[in-house]
């Protein structure tokens, strides 16, 4: 796992737990690598390295370096997984599939409309995931509406109607699902969080540290359900393991349900 910062990452814990169940003599570590050092570090990798997990701020650099990219990587412009095979680097975005899978696990499987809070790179993955779940109308809540222009364009390419609302202008409306992509600890101005929470639907907050986030606290105060992103973390890691092992990204591993259970258990206490 490469990124900067990286010490907080729980990925080594869940990957190692999965490898132990599978009986693989593999290692998975983490290394602090910034954008400036990415090319040097990639060029220095030796033959035993099967692949890489990438987090902030390396996903765009990994996208640019990949020789091939899967559909979700092409749509989002972000690669969080690189696999070495056949003398090439193959890039994947497993965040999209991981988020969609965990939203389904929360009982949300058939969407017409949904809301995304935030307009950064994670919001791009969320938009594609919601489209894969069937959503065709998406409201983006963004402090800087102009930052969401790329999301509007991507939505149009995917056959989705995407609108953008400033936090100060949000209105109470019944919404089955709201996905928050705000950084941990970030809060919306004024009473925007309370207004959003009054929609009573599920809040899926991709943050998994510092729980509850300000937005999740607003949901809890309103008596509405809110979950963190630990399930997404596990599900995207499962998809990384699939491609590291030579499976297709959507091809389940043998006894995958058991592997997922062990990976979740490895996170107990965090």
Residues marked active site are found at 59
Distances (CA, A) of 158 to 73, 111, 129, 225: 14, 15, 11, 29
**Could you tell me where the beta strands, DSSP code E, fall in the chain?**
2-3, 31-32, 51-53, 68-69, 81-85, 88-92, 113-117, 137-141, 161-165, 177-180, 202-205, 226-227
Assess whether the previous peptide bond of 163 is cis (omega < 30° from 0).
no
Q: Write the DSSP assignment of 174-207 as a string of letters.
A: --SEEEE-PPTT---STTHHHHHHTT-SEEEE--
CA-nearest of 270, 267, 120, 126 to 210 is: 270
Strand 88-92 to 81-85 pairing:
antiparallel
CA-nearest of 73, 45, 96 to 236 is: 96
């Amino acid at each position: 796992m490469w990124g900067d910062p990286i010490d907080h990452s729980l990925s080594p814990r869940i990957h190692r737990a999965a490898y132990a169940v599978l009986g693989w003599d593999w290692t998975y570590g983490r290394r602090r690598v910034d954008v400036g050092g990415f090319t040097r570090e990639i060029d220095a990798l030796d033959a035993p390295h099967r692949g890489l997990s990438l987090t902030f701020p390396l996903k765009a650099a990994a996208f640019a370096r990949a020789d091939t990219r899967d559909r979700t990587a092409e749509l989002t412009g972000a690669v969080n997984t690189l696999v070495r095979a056949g003398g090439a680097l193959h890039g994947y975005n497993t965040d999209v599939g991981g988020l969609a899978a965990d939203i389904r696990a929360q009982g949300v499987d058939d969407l017409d409309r949904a809301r995304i809070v935030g307009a950064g790179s994670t919001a791009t993955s969320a938009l594609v995931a919601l489209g894969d779940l069937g959503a065709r109308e998406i409201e983006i809540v963004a402090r800087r509406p102009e930052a969401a222009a790329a999301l509007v364009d991507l939505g149009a390419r995917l056959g989705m109607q995407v609108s953008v609302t400033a936090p100060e202008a949000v209105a109470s409306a019944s919404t089955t699902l709201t996905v928050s992509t705000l950084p941990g600890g970030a809060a919306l101005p004024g009473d925007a969080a309370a207004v959003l929470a009054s929609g009573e639907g599920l809040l899926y907050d991709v943050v998994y540290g510092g729980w509850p986030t300000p937005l999740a606290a607003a949901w809890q105060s309103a008596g509405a359900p809110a979950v963190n992103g630990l399930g997404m973390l596990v599900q995207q890691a499962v998809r990384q393991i699939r491609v590291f092992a030579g499976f297709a990204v959507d091809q389940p591993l043998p006894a995958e349900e058991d592997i997922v259970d062990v990976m979740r258990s490895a996170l107990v206490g965090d």
